Amino acid sequence: MGINIQSDVSLKKYNTFGIEEIATNFIEITDPIQLLSAYETGIFKEEFLTLGGGSNILFTKPYSGYIIKINNKGIQAKIVQQDIFITACAGEIWNDLVCYCINNNYNGLENMALIPGTVGASPVQNIGAYGTELMNIFYSCIAFDTVAGIFKVFYNEDCQFSYRDSIFKSEYKGRYIITEVTYKLSSSPSINTSYGAISTELEKRQISNPTIRDIAEVVSYIRVEKLPDPSTVGNAGSFFKNPVISIDKYKELKELFPDLISYTMPENKIKLAAGWLIEQCGWKGKVIGQAGVWKNQALVLINIHAAKGTEIFELSSKIINDVYQKFNVKLEREVNIF
Ligand code: FAD
Ligand code: NAP
């Protein structure tokens, strides 16, 4: 199956920030076999970028290489005793997969309802929300090695998952194109309401024995209330990762800032709420030119109207600098910059 290379394609509708940049070359992949054709044509020797839904990307300049837009579709379930193995093609929309699982009463994805983007990107930053992470349900994926020109299977233990990170975002950044992902779910529900906002909303609705559908609905409701909808306000969700620091550093900070918000992590580490740090520096709701900080959550940077990617990037640099000056904590960008 061949490939069709389009020239000078606007990326505006392919990134949720809504940044207007041009890609010199654009290829849509609807069948993984096309990756072999792309390999034989020598495309992966040039600059290229694998693109899913563009919801974790900031374009700061025209893209002069090849954009490889992943758009293969299909979901299959295989039941082995209590376990359900769901295999989804990389181009499937993540939330469509969540809905498919809820409709079939497969348990494990509900806390991650309404995360934008595709299945193929889900392992890349080990997506997570409301007390669950992808690594808890990820079984394996198939990925195309753009250096060797072969498909390879990665199991959970191969992916080096950690907080909003994986081997695909670190050591193998950009090298592998994920073509399908298999998740290991369960038919016996284990409801996770550990996240404060979920239990508060369930109480409000007087739901004491929630189903996975209840959880997905509550999570979706909270998200819509709190986050800007990319179809009206360009954004890529949390622009920064929550910083994870040592217990000693935490103690120092807590003395200086008694209201510091923190959560205990494995290995004696402490996670700080980056949104709170940014808010304390006075950035919540602020706007510089066409770039802004979301009024309900300071972790989210927004495109006010026709912002350049560089404007948003510069705003992020100012925030990083201010947080560092005030708290001596270096924020890292979660969004991928190109
Ligand atoms: P893209 O933005 O297209 O790509 C992201 C990165 O993954 C790029 O480096 C890209 O090269 C790589 N990539 C994409 N597809 C593939 C593939 N098939 N193979 C290999 N590499 C690939 N994230 C969370 O973790 N939790 C949240 O709760 C959350 N909430 C969000 C809310 C909003 C409103 C928005 C806009 C974003 C949010 N995000 C969240 C960020 C984003 O939705 C996720 O990171 C998502 O997984 C990105 O998927 P995508 O398909 O859009 O990836
Ligand atoms: P929030 O409820 O205002 O909480 C702020 C931060 O505190 C969150 O980022 C979360 O870290 C942490 N937190 C809160 N309760 C926690 C608990 N019980 N245990 C451990 N950590 C806790 O956050 P929010 O911005 O509205 O986001 C809600 C959820 O959606 C979070 O899980 C967040 O990660 C996710 N989300 C992610 C993105 C993204 O682009 N990555 C965008 C929007 C929302 P964690 O982030 O580690 O959970």
Share of the chain above pLDDT 90, in %: 95
Query: Is the pLDDT at 105 greater than 80, yes or no?
Result: yes
Is 164 one of the annotated active-site residues of the chain? yes
Is 311 one of the annotated active-site residues of the chain? no
Q: What is the location of CATH 3.30.465.10 in the chain?
A: 75-186
Q: Are 118 and 52 in contact (CB under 8 A)?
A: yes
307 pocket-lining for ligand 1 (C-beta < 6 Å): no
Q: What is the location of CATH 3.90.78.10 in the chain?
A: 234-337
Query: Is the pLDDT at 189 greater than 80, yes or no?
Result: no
Structure tokens at 223: 């998200």
Q: Are 201 and 94 in contact (CB under 8 A)?
A: no
Query: Given pLDDT bands bounded at 50, 70 and 90, which one contains residue 125?
Result: very high
Q: What does the pLDDT average to over 131-145?
A: 97
Q: For position 1, what pLDDT does the model report? A: 78
Q: What does the pLDDT average to over 143-160?
A: 98
Q: For position 31, what pLDDT does the model report? A: 98
Q: For position 214, what pLDDT does the model report? A: 97
Q: How far, in Å, from the CA of 103 to the mean position of ligand 1?
A: 24
Atom of ligand 2 nearest to the CA of 239: 40
Q: What does the pLDDT average to over 80-90?
A: 94
Q: What is the location of CATH 3.30.43.10 in the chain?
A: 5-70
Catalytic residue among 55, 164, 180, 311: 164
Q: How far, in Å, from the CA of 236 to the mean position of ligand 1?
A: 8
Q: For position 186, what pLDDT does the model report? A: 84
Q: At a CB cut-off of 8 Å and minimum separation 6, what does 203 contact?
A: none
Q: What does the pLDDT average to over 131-142?
A: 97
CA-to-CA distance for 23 and 163, rounded, in angstroms? 31
Structure tokens at 67: 């954009």
Query: Is the pLDDT at 142 greater than 80, yes or no?
Result: yes
Three-class secondary structure of residue 114 per DSSP? coil
Locate tokens 């498909």: which residue?
Answer: 151
CA-to-CA distance for 17 and 237, rounded, in angstroms? 9
Q: For position 302, what pLDDT does the model report? A: 98
Q: For position 120, what pLDDT does the model report? A: 98
Q: For position 188, what pLDDT does the model report? A: 78
* CATH-assigned architecture of domain 234-337: Alpha-Beta Complex (3.90)
Question: What is the CATH T-level fold of the domain 75-186, as seen in this structure?
Answer: 3.30.465
Q: Are 139 and 200 in contact (CB under 8 A)?
A: no
- Give the model confidence (pLDDT) of 206-233 as tens digits: 999 999 999 999 999 999 999 999 999 9
Query: Given pLDDT bands bounded at 50, 70 and 90, which one contains residue 156?
Result: very high
CATH of 5-70, one of 3.30.43.10, 3.30.365.10, 3.10.20.70, 3.40.50.720: 3.30.43.10
- Give the model confidence (pLDDT) of 11-51 as tens digits: 999 999 999 999 999 999 999 999 999 999 999 999 999 99
Q: Which residues of 221-246 are buried (b: 16+ CB within 10 A; e: fewer)?
A: bbbeeebbebeebbbbbbbbbbbbbe
Helix residue ranges, H only, the chain: 33-40, 94-103, 196-204, 212-226, 247-256, 274-280, 309-327
Query: Is the pLDDT at 187 greater than 80, yes or no?
Result: no
Choose which residue among 47, 48, 55, 60 to substitute to test ligand 1 binding: the one with the highest number of ligand atoms within 8 A of its C-beta. Answer: 55
227 pocket-lining for ligand 2 (C-beta < 6 Å): yes
- Give the model confidence (pLDDT) of 240-293 as tens digits: 999 999 999 999 999 999 999 999 988 899 999 999 999 999 999 999 999 999
55 pocket-lining for ligand 1 (C-beta < 6 Å): yes
Q: Are 116 and 125 in contact (CB under 8 A)?
A: no
Region of 331 (left: φ > 0; alpha: ψ -120 to 50; beta: rest) is beta
130 pocket-lining for ligand 2 (C-beta < 6 Å): yes
Catalytic residue among 110, 238, 311, 333: 238
Q: For position 81, what pLDDT does the model report? A: 87
74 pocket-lining for ligand 2 (C-beta < 6 Å): no
